[in-house]
Structure 1
Amino acid sequence: MIPPAQAGTAALLRRLTGAEPIETHISAVFVGREAAWKLKKAVALGFLDFSKLAARAHFLRRELEINQPFAPALYRGLVPVTRAPDGGLALDGEGEVVEWVLRMAPVPAADFLDAVAARQGLEPARLDAVADAVFAQHAALPPVAGIDAPDALRRVLAGNGTAARAAGLPEARIAALLAATEAWIARLAPVLAARAAAGRVRRCHGDLHLGNLCLLDGRVTPFDALEFDEALATIDTGYDLAFLLMDLEHRLGRAAANRVLNRYVARSGDAGLVAGLPLWLSLRALIRAHVLAQAKGAAAGLPYLDRAEAMLAPPPPRLVAVGGLQGTGKSRLARALAPSLGAAPGALVLRSDEIRKRRAGRAPEERLPAAAYAPEASAAVFAELAAVAGEALGGGHAVIADAAFLREEERAAIEAARGAAPFAGLWLEAPLPVLRARIESRRGDASDADVAVLEAAAARGVGTLRWQRLDATADPVPMARRCLGLNGDRL
């Protein structure tokens, strides 16, 4: 409800837009044909204080500063509400400034990504676009030095514990979850501190769920970044991403979240973030649990509380390598297996073609010149693949390594990356005419291999092969799942 002191401004915005506001507990947005107007409510809620006009002006201006660089077509400017001598209110008129509002472009309700998800419109290409948008935003943000990342998470945990209890969530479960989370923070403290030192802590979006992403001119665009608490938004980029992954898994299932994770890592190279995912996903789920419980009653928050608890009990990591000639469907198989393998939101898929593109500073679908496939370049790609696989496994996360692995030394290197984790090697095979047809029909893929590359590779042979051979003429997924012992369960 809009506070009585702002009733005049609300009436003005209703007249201008012909619409009732879309409200949250801290703001009201009036959407018209030509513009949308955002009003911050004059409220004090403990974690924020918008009760004074100066504070509302400050935080609207901060919202504009944070969001406009990434959504310039959406955020148009700050406008005063003025009172004329006769007492009438106007936008940017003569007289005393009595309120401030943020002018924005109107976005159709169907173009917010939570609505797109609800109608099953987040197909694979759009999920890739979501990950690309988040990567682009994170890449543009400067690192913030001097942040004690473990201590910052402890403060987040304490605040959420208080909020969870106030929302009526079960005391015994909250106490146990807080203790388990504190143990995870202590265990991950060196990792979190190292990531902060490496520049992974930035002034991020801070509230990155599907409702805060929209389609502008067909492009996925983040908006409505958290503006009222710099500490809550100055976080590890992996923690920022985790809210989106948690929301995707809850709304659409693990496969959607897994695809976004793997596309983000393919673009950023930040495979190390998987070590923090159990902790970050659990914290994000706890936030949703108490927010829903506060708004709709304790029962509404219980599914997210279940999720928060489950995230802190991940299965152990394992390594799966998928190899074979070009066109055998390695990447399709890796994507199909990944959501069922390991901790949420499924295995990290490390694809040699994507590593090669990132090393060259290109998007996965951009073609590379022949020089990028010289022997020394390929050796560097496979060395990075093995090293990153080992890092992710060491962080407790399952990995699927997706590459041709045509040389015995490449297969030996990825097997050695397993450390103490279980390993399985899957080798896909199909007749050359089938592979030629697949390669000729391929579009928009990270692989640059053509039929000539396929035939040259087939002529060389692969040496001694000890991996499990799978017929890739038809769908190899059922056989691969049996080989890995998945049988419909996540392992």
Structure 2
Amino acid sequence: MAIPPSQAEVAALLARLTGGAPIETHVSAVYVGRDAALKLKKAVRLDFLDFSTLAARRRFCCRELTLNRAFAPDLYRDVVPVRRDAAGALVLGAPLPPDDAEAAPPAGAADGALDWVLRMAPVPPGDFLDAMAARGALDAALLDALGDAVAAMHAALPPLRDVDVVAAMQAVIAGNARAARAAALPGQRCDDWLAAARAACARLAPLLAARAAKGRVRRCHGDLHLGNLCLWQGKPTPFDALEFDEDYARIDTGYDLAFLLMDLARRPGRAAANRVLNRYLARTGDAGMLPALPLWLSVRAMVRAHVEGARGDGAAALRYLDAADSYLRPLPALVVAVGGLQGTGKSRLARALAPALGAAPGALLLRTDEIRKRRQGVAPEERLPDTAYAEAESAAVYAEFFAAAREAARAGHAVVADAVFLDPAHRAGIAEAARAAGVPFVGFWLEAPLDVLRRRITARRNDASDATVAVLERAARRDPGPMADWIRLDASEDPLPAARKALAKSLTPLC
């Protein structure tokens, strides 16, 4: 959507100040210069927003500033008016005081503003995460940092208790179906998706309401896709939070996360989405979102479907519509356990298996190491004192581990459980979690020569495991007991091909 003629003179000023053409969406134009980025809201009125008046553009510029300073305080600077100087030329005026930015101007006030501009720090084009995804730059460390950033953002938001999340989600579903039809997506497919999504929402209503009661509904980002995240001061940083409709942003934190997961799954791929999901869950412990995740992913994919349709990209619209449909189709759940002595590569194998298992974006990855760190309130890579490994605390860690596996599998989500499993009671506990959920269980036991394990542990860096060579030596002297029901794998080399083959063979009779 072009910049309206009424804003042409303002647009020309911003182009002169920054020295280039804008980056445009259908509702805004961002002019990026050497020292600042200047964002102009287009004077448009659409079904879902109204920027057509000067007062509205002032209000929403200020709202955007307030919201995003919470996530990226140094990225968002101020809101400035566009005025005429004494000679009649357009200039940028003095910024609004930060404390007064969202306050409406006094009635009848004549401030002389012709328009309003949000001023930000410039970000190199290559530092936006959608651009990084396109060139394959979202590596494991960055994906983990991304999960951490979203978890920290959500943790800082106060819970909301006055949102009817079920009614709100049903309204979003209906609105997306209308938008999809208006974007000329196939009518029957839109109707079928609407019926399936409504049914899923009705089935999930008790869960959604319970999550709201527990404080999982917050004033979230609301538009958390890769294009609205950038590297800022070396860290993934959300920006451009949805400012024009509170109903779209007063949502479950899981629904907020789902847009990012859907975008990751469609661009770099399911493994990236699975890694961010599991890093987020390792930091928050919110595995309770998993039953609703298929619905949330589907709704987010439908948003993209009708946006692409409205842009005229029918092929992309149909790909997102296919994704929206696929997310609502249930897939069989299972529990896979990966055990072995320290240094056998349990976590590497577990992470490699997880993306391909079960519902999108792959299995819940449970690590006793990460649960222990979360219970202590520290990052997975931070080392813990010996007191954190006391018998009572370890029992609590394993109780949470088994309960999370059971509940996720019971809700239809696949699980990969990563622990030493040297104690026969722990092996029995994870198998019982699968049995109680009514899903298949496969256990892998990794083995490698002790000198190989010593070298691997010595070489570890930035890992959730605190195990030392001394811990390995003590574990190696213990008898793990019978392993009749577990599949032994040679971990001196990469065990992934053998694990995948064994897994396929084990599950074939159930297909």
- Tell me if structure 1 keeps the 8 A contact 2:442–2:506: no
Percent identity between matched residues is 65
8 Å CA contact retained: 1:83, 1:95: no
| 1:105 lines up with 2:121 in the alignment | yes
CA-to-aligned-CA distance 1:159-199 (integer Å, 9 cap, x gap): 11110000000001110010011110011111111111111
In structure 2, what residue type is equivalent to 1:447? Answer: S
The normalised TM-score by structure 2 is 0.94
1:156 and 2:165 are equivalent in the alignment: no
Distance in 2, Cα, partners of 1:3 & 1:230: 26
Q: 1:345 aligns with which of 353, 358, 361?
A: 361
Measured after TM superposition, the shift of residue 294 of structure 1 is: 0.3
- Aligned ranges for residues 72-471 of structure 1 at < 5 Å? 72-92=73-93, 96-418=112-434, 419=436, 420-466=438-484, 467-471=486-490
TM-score normalised by length of structure 1: 0.98
Cα distance per residue 1:299-326 (max 9 Å; x no partner):
3300000000011113111001111110
Map of 1:473 onto structure 2: 492
CA contact (8 A) 2:81 2:117 kept: yes
Kept after mapping to 2: 8 A contact 1:36/1:104: yes
* Deviation at residue 411 of structure 1 after TM alignment: 1.1
* Aligned match of 1:19: 20
1:70·1:221 contact (CA, 8 Å) conserved in 2? yes
Matched, 1:48 2:67: no
Give the residue type in structure 1 aligned to 2:25: T
* Alpha-carbon shift at residue 15 of structure 1 (Å): 1.1
Q: Structure 1 CA distance, aligned partners of 2:235 and 2:345?
A: 29
Deviation, 1:151, is 1.1
After superposition, the Cα gap between the structure-2 partners of 1:163 and 1:84, relative to the gap in structure 1 and judged at 3 Å, is same
What SS does the corresponding residue of 1:428 show, helix, strand or coil? Answer: strand
How far apart, in 1, do the equivalents of 2:113 and 2:141 lie?
47
Q: Distance in 2 between matches of 1:47 and 1:444?
A: 45
CA-CA distance at 1:487 after TM superposition: 11
Q: Is the 8 A contact 2:338 2:346 kept in 1?
A: yes
1:285/1:305 contact within 8 Å kept: yes
Deviations along 1:36-93, one digit per CA (max 9) or x if unpaired, are 1000011001211111111111111110011011111110011111123543211116
Aligned residue type for 2:191: A
Checking the alignment, whether the CA contact within 8 Å between 1:212 and 1:224 is kept in structure 2 is yes
Asked if 1 retains the 8 angstrom alpha-carbon contact of 2:405 and 2:415, the reply is yes
The amino acid that maps onto 1:54 is: A
**What CA distance in whole angstroms lies between the structure 2 residues aligned with 1:223 and 1:100?**
19
Q: Work out the CA distance in 1 between the residues paired with 2:406 and 2:58.
A: 50
Is the 2:264–2:272 contact (alpha carbons within 8 Å) kept by the matching residues of 1?
yes
Q: 1:487 to 1:59 in 2, by over 3 A?
A: farther
How far is the alpha carbon of 1:16 from its aligned partner?
A: 0.7
- How many residue pairs align between the two structures? 490
Equivalent residue for 2:502, pick from 476, 483, 488: 483
Following TM superposition, by how much is the alpha carbon of 1:464 offset from its aligned partner in structure 2, in angstroms? 2.3
| Unaligned stretches of 5+ residues in structure 2 | 95-109
Query: Which letter maps to 2:81?
Result: P
Partners in 1 of 2:358 and 2:204 — Cα distance?
A: 19
Aligned partner letter, 2:258 = A
Moved more, 456-465 or 364-373: 456-465
What amino acid is the match of 2:79? L
* CA RMSD across the alignment: 1.5
